[in-house]
Amino acid sequence: TNPWHDVVIFNLLLALGAFVRPRGLGQFTTGQGAFKLAVPGRRGDTVRSPDITFTVAARVAELFPGRGFGRGA
């Protein structure tokens, strides 16, 4: 991949994290994780691995069980 992609992701996480972390608003992840989404009207699950995800603090324990895929947002 283009190294600038990683630079942009890193800088976004630094900037967003500087606001979110001190306030305990939630959790960020990068493209290393995946989310299994149930799509209404579609058979089976869809797995997505976005560059950056944000999960609000109230849902962190629910969506990040410790291993495997997160449930999705």
Contact criterion met (CB below 8 Å) for 34 and 49: yes
Q: What angle do CA 24, 25, 30 make, to 5 degrees?
A: 105
In this prediction the pTM is 0.67
pLDDT of residue 18: 96
List the pLDDT tens digit at each of the 73 positions of the chain.
Answer: 688 998 999 999 999 999 999 999 999 888 777 777 777 887 777 888 889 989 899 988 887 766 655 555 5
> Residue 44 — φ and ψ, nearest 5°?
80, 180
Residue 55 corresponds to which tokens in the numbers above? 């999960």
